[in-house]
């Protein structure tokens, strides 16, 4: 069940403290309003910049790698964003089957509603479906508390209704976060997950470059980010993820690593 007891990070607590101090100072010395305004604006600008840093934990807990127990077992997590896609997702699943690898699919609720059989197939083949928002809007991070909750709750309901499993992880669209995101995650019982390494496979069709970026982060406990949705095309016109994935999985095996889902790593960490 969702845990509604939000514990703000030290940075959020500091921000609240700064605002309270400024308010108290202005009551006593109204003439300091100019300096006070600059401090508040600088604080908000800093929080906004942190929102553009997907791997930051300053705004709240954030999985950038697997827990220590998973690292000790030489486990990694492959994650796929922006699906399901009727062309790419089935072929991605076939490759994962071939290498006996389980993975985590961060699905967009709206796409899942269009291709529910694909989402069910993901789960039936041993993988997990997690929350990547309902609409994947570029304005997601600029929503207020109510807007964030509405968007994330809609995806929770959509994905659970299709797969029968309630998502336990959330990844923000484009990784961009709002300082208001953490309390909504807590209320919905979700954990934020970013990544250890990403291939930028929605922007680059260069198989070698994408592969190098991913393998640079290939180590025990790594969370690798690829895309089965919005995938760039290679020079051969093939979705780049389909050419890169076998190369990454070969390297995983050669390094003696094992693929697990984020949910598996979370269960074993408890």
The pLDDT value given to residue 269: 66
pTM across the whole model = 0.89
- Report DSSP letters for 190-252, one per residue: -EEB--SEE--TTT---HHHHHHHHHHT-STTBEEEEESSSPPB-TTSSBHHHHHHHHHHHHH
pLDDT digits (tens, 9 = 90+) for 239-258: 999 999 999 999 999 999 99
Question: What architecture is the 68-269 domain classified under in CATH?
Answer: Alpha-Beta Barrel (3.20)
Distance, in Å, from the CA atom of 117 to the CA atom of 264, rounded to the nearest integer, reads: 23
Contact yes or no for 63/193 (Cβ under 8 A): yes
pLDDT digits (tens, 9 = 90+) for 142-170: 888 999 999 999 999 999 999 999 999 99
Chain mean pLDDT for the chain: 91
* C-alpha distance from residue 92 to each of 78, 95, 226, 249 (Å): 12, 5, 11, 12
Percent of the chain with pLDDT strictly greater than 90? 71
Distance, in Å, from the CA atom of 168 to the CA atom of 219, rounded to the nearest integer, reads: 24
pLDDT digits (tens, 9 = 90+) for 80-116: 999 999 999 999 999 999 999 999 999 999 999 999 9
Nearest to 226 by CA among 238, 211, 216: 211
Query: Does the pLDDT of residue 26 top 60, yes or no?
Result: yes
Query: Does the pLDDT of residue 1 top 70, yes or no?
Result: no
The pLDDT value given to residue 141: 83
């Amino acid at each position: 069940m969702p845990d509604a007891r939000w514990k703000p990070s030290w940075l959020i607590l500091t921000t609240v403290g700064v605002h309270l101090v400024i308010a108290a100072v202005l009551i006593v010395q109204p003439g300091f309003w100019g300096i006070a305004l600059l401090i508040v604006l600088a604080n908000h600008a800093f929080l906004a910049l942190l929102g553009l840093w997907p791997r930051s934990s300053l705004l709240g807990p954030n999985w950038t790698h697997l827990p220590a127990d998973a690292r000790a077992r030489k486990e990694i997590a492959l994650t796929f964003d922006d699906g399901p896609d009727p062309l790419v997702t089935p072929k991605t699943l076939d490759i994962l089957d071939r290498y006996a690898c389980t993975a985590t699919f961060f699905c967009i609720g709206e796409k899942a509603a269009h291709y529910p059989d694909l989402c069910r197939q993901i789960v039936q083949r041993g993988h997990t479906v997690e929350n990547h928002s309902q609409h994947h809007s570029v304005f997601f991070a600029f929503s207020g508390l109510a807007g964030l909750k509405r968007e994330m709750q809609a995806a929770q309901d959509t994905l659970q209704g299709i797969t029968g499993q309630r998502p336990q992880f959330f990844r923000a669209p484009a990784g961009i976060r709002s300082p208001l995101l953490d309390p909504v995650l807590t209320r919905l019982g979700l954990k934020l997950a970013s990544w250890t390494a990403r291939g930028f496979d929605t922007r680059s069709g260069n198989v070698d470059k994408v592969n190098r970026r991913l393998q640079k982060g290939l180590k025990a406990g790594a969370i690798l980010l690829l895309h089965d949705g919005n995938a760039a095309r290679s020079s051969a016109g093939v979705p780049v993820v389909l050419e890169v994935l076998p190369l990454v999985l070969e390297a995983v095996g050669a390094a003696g690593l094992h693929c697990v889902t984020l949910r598996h790593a979370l269960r074993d960490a408890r």
